[in-house]
Structure 1
Amino acid sequence: MRTLITISFCIIFTIVKTYAQNISGVWHGIAKTSDNKEILFVFLFEKNQETYNSTMAVPTFNVAGIKPRATTFNSGKLIVDGSNIGIKYEGIFDETTQQIKGSYTEGGNVLTLILKKGNPEMAKINRPQEPIKPYPYYEEQVIFENAEAGIKLSGTFTKPNEKGKYPVVILISGSGRHDRDGAIPTHKPFLVLSDYLTRKGIAVLRYDDRGFGESTGDFNTATTADFAKDVLSAVTYLKSRNDIDVKHIGLIGHSEGGIIAPMVANQTADISFIVTLAATGIPGNEVAVMQSKSLRPFLVPDEASFERNVREAIKIASSNEDISKKRNALTEHNNSYLAPILKSLGATDENISVLIEKETEAALKPWNKYFYNFNPANEFEKLSIPILSLNGSKDTQVNATINQNAIRNALIKGGNKNYKVIELDNMNHLFQECKTGNINEYKDIEQTISPIALKEISNWILEIIQIK
């Protein structure tokens, strides 16, 4: 009897200890992708009575300040609900190893992720182009409002130290959530670009995307048109300053930002010039088809069949049918063509079901429907202001030749007399001088933006300002 009581007490003590475990503090872990790439995740858990607040960072992609919707830790089970940003983490606390063993889900990807208490050991990465404070120019943290959307956007404004009214550019990020530095795998291209232009006498405003960093709003429900409204709010803010030359307000947009810029310029007379970086010029559905093939991490037995099925999925997602009907049709379609592919790659039935559900929901987001049905050539055609279009010859995300031909043709059709379209040799989507142009190569390149690209941008802007 004494032995049974002792054993029972030990079990109860262990259970209580596990359930009462306080996970407050920093935890980190490394997940491996299907192609054996490592991604470092860092979580900060802060206990708030019976619940937790969490902040997530992904140093591998140079992303920080992510705020999941809710975090719970009950009976040894941790759930980080990031439905507001399209992610989720579920794990079980292991009393023996003092680790949290679980899985991280984002979009259609499910990764095994084991969290350990404490800060990770970070190898120093050399990024010589990133400026070091104190800067030789004025920097100000600013907040401006998109009153129509009821959100506040937080950013950084820089200009030369000397008093005066300066020409200014607004930096517009590409697809996906980005902070004001345009942080992409271990690089901060907007920080580098902003620093370079400010030193050349051009003021710069860059800001966190809505619903990310210090900006408010819901990123998940926003479309390209909504992001254009955010830029218009930035224009209104700049016009309220007494250190800006309102006759010289320009836009620099990267990737999706490169199609947002013409949209904005066609909605206001306040924009005097545009620079597009890796912009698309063909319809969004065609961009999606091309990327599904160029960025796909696996082989398929029949390329023609794969493309037909991708086009059918896009057709369903971009239709005006009721969302429930589209969900059912897309789920059925994905099960018919995507499930066999995943099965051939070794995915379990359970994981296939989860992946297809995630893929279906991701495709049904408002951004996708808008993008699939949007043709940027229509906006480029309406531009009468000066425009510089730059693309990299080794860009695997946005084909330079196809998209620049479309942009050029649209500008000619619209009668624009002041444009320059340049394909930069051996540069990738980020305008790094590269070998392959593949996404996995970005983080391994020391250079953040090629000096050649930086010089093309600044020289063209300064020339345009003098002409005008």
Structure 2
Amino acid sequence: MIRYFFGLLTLLALLAQAPLATAGSLPAPLNGQWKGPLKMVGGRIMVIITIVPLTNGTYYGALDAPQQRINRMPVEVELHGTDLKLRIEQAGSSFTGKVLGNGAELSGTWTQPGLKSPMVLQRAAAKPMAAHFPMAPPYRETKVTFQNTVSQHHLGGILTVPAGSGPFPAVALLSDVGAQDRDVEVAGYRMFGQLADYLTRHGIAVLRFDDRGVGQSSGSHTNSTTADLVTDAQAAISFLRSRPLIAPQHVGLLGHGEGANVALLTAAKSGPAPAFVVSLAAYGQSGYQVLLRQQGEIMRLIGADPGQVKAARDLYARTVNIIRQTPNNALAQTRVASLLSSANTGIDESMARARAAQLTSPWSRFFFDFDPQTHLAKVRCPVLLLNGTADLQVSAKKNMTPLRRTLHNAHRNVTSYRLNGVNHLFQPAPNQWPMVNGVQQPTFSPDALKRINDWVAVTTQRPKTPLGAPSKQPGLPRKLVKVATVVDVR
């Protein structure tokens, strides 16, 4: 849910519930990717804004700046006729302009502390298929739909099953904060698409599905809390266990960011539980601590002095305190909007109200007090924790370390690795990206992929399958299984 330039540090969880313009108000479809240069002192930065349509008729916006390693930074979208406003409130940045050329261009002004610059964003052409995966992968691929019987909504996705007779271990993928499709596509990088391709080629069946309210999935993403998403994970486990060619005793969960916390919560709950959990950059601190730290990082990255950083953190703390002490949402929104308006002359009344609504959403209220440590002692399955040293959204030291310590102290089977140079999206440094059609393409860390596959192979007592080789039925003797391993690769 990540990095720098005008203060857009990360996938701020508070903003992730927020995008928004209604589809009916759009003069032309805005969904897709928009690209354009932002002129700054000393150079230019390429900005990519992705707008995803939700099933409730609204849109989710996310900003990427690959040069600065900013990935999926949530953006509020406000549109009236052809007048468009994109706002990143916590960074004090916005784009104000118009939709031109029958929806082919967004022209306006980018504003941030110390900078006001003309900017044009043009619709990005779809990337050629050659930049993705082969048209005919050496495994079975099926579009599927399964039901969450608790919340009464369906989830649509893709199940990939290795070649061979099986039965195969399987894993369901759970995404990070924000409305995301089954591939978790970020500026042409299909994080879950690449992960599923690799694991399936190596003998692991993979289920990846659209988030609630996205693509082929029904339900509401905006009104769902981290705890609510546990029922989606349980539904995915039950679905996989019912499928032919899947070993029902070897169905696990792999989560990224918030999805990793959902996986750990699911492993600690009654009901369908995973046989194993792979955690990619799970939160180890409370939600409030994570967001307060990110608020300070954002201010520092936009060049704020220590006094300004302290003022921003104090304002954030006051805002959360109001929300915690005011259970009545209407009253809380009024008080928060008033505080934001009085403390920030750059925010108008409508934006203050919109921001207050986000901060008092079910997701935000839950996340402020979410403590990921609470239920770890109830986790019964093996856990693999992975974090990158270049992850500035979820610090390995502040998050993976306490998770590992708590699981280890509770005598749980836990293995952990810090991956050198890997960022929050589990990409290695850009100089390690492969060349495709003469252009470097972002890729999932090969080191992370191998560690995940090798660990699952041992955990499910399955021989490791070389790339392209047919998978065989699990057959390692139980005495070879590793138990209670704690590894920290720095």
Q: TM-score, normalised by structure 2?
A: 0.72
Q: Which deviates further from its counterpart, 378-387 or 450-459?
A: 378-387
1:175 Cα deviation after fit: 0.3
The runs of at least 4 consecutive aligned structure 1 residues that moved more than 3 Å come to: 33-36, 43-47, 51-55, 58-68, 85-88, 104-111, 118-130, 295-301
SS at match of 2:247: strand
- Paired residue for 2:414? 419
- Paired residue for 1:362? 358
- Residues 439-458 of structure 1: pairs in structure 2 closer than 5 A: 446-458=441-453
- Distance of 1:63 and 1:137 partners within structure 2: 31
Note if 1:428 corresponds to 2:434: no
- Distance of 1:102 and 1:167 partners within structure 2: 51
SS at match of 1:458: helix
- Paired residue for 2:295? 292
Q: Which amino acid aligns with 1:322?
A: N
- Residues 24-423 of structure 1: pairs in structure 2 closer than 5 A: 56-58=31-33, 60=48, 64-67=52-55, 69=57, 87-91=77-81, 101-105=82-86, 108=89, 111-117=96-102, 122=124, 130-267=132-269, 268=271, 270-296=273-299, 298-301=302-305, 302=307, 303-319=309-325, 321-337=327-343, 339=344, 343=345, 347=346, 351-416=347-412, 418-423=413-418
Which structure is higher in RCO with an 8 Å CA cutoff and minimum separation 6?
Answer: 2
Identity %: 28
The answer to whether the Cα contact below 8 Å between 1:57 and 1:66 also exists between their aligned partners in 2 is: no
- Distance of 2:100 and 2:27 partners within structure 1: 16
Q: Which amino acid aligns with 2:32?
A: A
Q: Which amino acid aligns with 1:447?
A: P
- Distance of 1:299 and 1:305 partners within structure 2: 14
- Distance of 1:67 and 1:136 partners within structure 2: 33
Q: Which amino acid aligns with 2:250?
A: H
- Distance of 1:371 and 1:152 partners within structure 2: 24
Q: Which deviates further from its counterpart, 193-202 or 269-278?
A: 269-278
Q: Which amino acid aligns with 1:412?
A: H
Note the aligned Cα RMSD (angstroms): 3.2
1:218 Cα deviation after fit: 1.2
1:34 Cα deviation after fit: 7.0
The answer to whether the Cα contact below 8 Å between 1:182 and 1:189 also exists between their aligned partners in 2 is: yes
The answer to whether the Cα contact below 8 Å between 1:62 and 1:183 also exists between their aligned partners in 2 is: no
- Paired residue for 2:41? none
1:421 Cα deviation after fit: 1.5
Residue-pair matches, total:
387
- Distance of 1:384 and 1:358 partners within structure 2: 41
SS at match of 2:275: strand
- Distance of 2:7 and 2:202 partners within structure 1: 42
Where in structure 2 are there 5+ consecutive unaligned residues? 9-20, 35-47, 60-74, 105-121, 432-438, 462-477, 482-490
Which protein shows a greater Rg?
1
- Distance of 2:51 and 2:422 partners within structure 1: 23
1:319 Cα deviation after fit: 4.2
- Paired residue for 1:25? none
- Distance of 1:127 and 1:402 partners within structure 2: 39
Distance 1:147 1:314, change over 3 A: same
1:244 Cα deviation after fit: 1.0
Q: Which amino acid aligns with 1:369?
A: R
Distance 1:62 1:193, change over 3 A: farther
Distance 1:224 1:204, change over 3 A: same
- Distance of 1:221 and 1:319 partners within structure 2: 21
Distance 1:244 1:414, change over 3 A: same
Q: Which amino acid aligns with 2:297?
A: S
The structure where helix makes up a greater share of residues is: 1
- Distance of 1:237 and 1:399 partners within structure 2: 33
1:28-86 CA-partner distances (Å, limit 9, x unpaired): xxxxx9789xxxxxx99999xxx999572235456655456389xxxxxxxxxxxxx97
SS at match of 1:148: coil
Q: Which amino acid aligns with 1:206?
A: R
The answer to whether the Cα contact below 8 Å between 1:63 and 1:183 also exists between their aligned partners in 2 is: no
1:317-369 CA-partner distances (Å, limit 9, x unpaired): 344521122112212322333x1xxx4xxx4xxx5333322221111111011
1:135 Cα deviation after fit: 1.1
1:105 Cα deviation after fit: 4.5
Q: Which amino acid aligns with 2:351?
A: L
- Distance of 1:133 and 1:449 partners within structure 2: 19
Q: Which amino acid aligns with 2:341?
A: N
Q: Which deviates further from its counterpart, 379-388 or 184-193?
A: 379-388
1:218-249 CA-partner distances (Å, limit 9, x unpaired): 11111111111111111111122122101101
- Distance of 1:352 and 1:445 partners within structure 2: 42
The answer to whether the Cα contact below 8 Å between 1:393 and 1:428 also exists between their aligned partners in 2 is: yes
SS at match of 1:170: strand
SS at match of 1:295: helix
SS at match of 1:321: coil
Q: TM-score, normalised by structure 1?
A: 0.75
Q: Which amino acid aligns with 1:90?
A: H
1:280 Cα deviation after fit: 0.7
The answer to whether the Cα contact below 8 Å between 2:386 and 2:417 also exists between their aligned partners in 1 is: yes
